[in-house]
Amino acid sequence: MKKELIELNVNGRTHELAIEPSKLLLDALRQDLQLTGSKRGCDDSSCGACTVLVDGIPMLSCTMLAASCEGQEITTVEGVSEHGSLAAIQKAYGDWGGAQCGYCTPGFMMTVKHLLAVNANPTEEEVRSALSSNLCRCTGYSQMYQAIKAAIEAEQKAVPST
């Protein structure tokens, strides 16, 4: 298949890529941009390890064509850290055991980032429901809830209430 030139905006930077129109966003990120943080865990869009934000909405990059994302803002796990430091949720996942093997973690980072962006103080029910888009085989999810709680508290401490 003949390649075409596309522009992808990833983590605030624009990249020009020559790719086949059939190329999946996940493959473009991992192979063409060397952004290997997003993972492939399944063949059928069931695991969520490849989750990225497209215009702020969590999407499975294994089921999107890269070419269809032109003009949209894509955020991958590499874009979550702030000013070269861990974001609160990243720090909390480390401290509270939210990541064990870590393979599903990038996907969870994106899902949680979106959850907290739309709902700064979710109930446990809402957290469970939001996280159900992603599979983890190590943690049984429990320590993730603690991590998310800790991240919310850290954020609230960082931003003094008015």
What are the residues binding other proteins (CB under 8 A)? 30, 35-44, 46-47, 49, 76-78, 80-81, 86, 89-91, 93-97, 99-106, 109, 127-129, 131-132, 134-144
Find the shortest distance in angstroms from Cβ 6 to other proteins.
18
**For other proteins, which is the closer residue by CB, 71 or 132?**
132
**For other proteins, which is the closer residue by CB, 62 or 69?**
62
Q: What is the dihedral of CA 68, 74, 78, 82, to 10 degrees?
A: 170
Find the shortest distance in angstroms from Cβ 117 to other proteins.
17
Find the shortest distance in angstroms from Cβ 105 to other proteins.
5
**For other proteins, which is the closer residue by CB, 69 or 144?**
144
| Chain CA centroid to CA 25, Å | 13
Find the shortest distance in angstroms from Cβ 91 to other proteins.
8
Q: Are 38 and 26 in contact (CB under 8 A)?
A: yes
Give the DSSP H or E segment for 73: strand 73-75
Q: Are 7 and 19 in contact (CB under 8 A)?
A: no
DSSP label at 72? S
Q: Are 26 and 50 in contact (CB under 8 A)?
A: yes
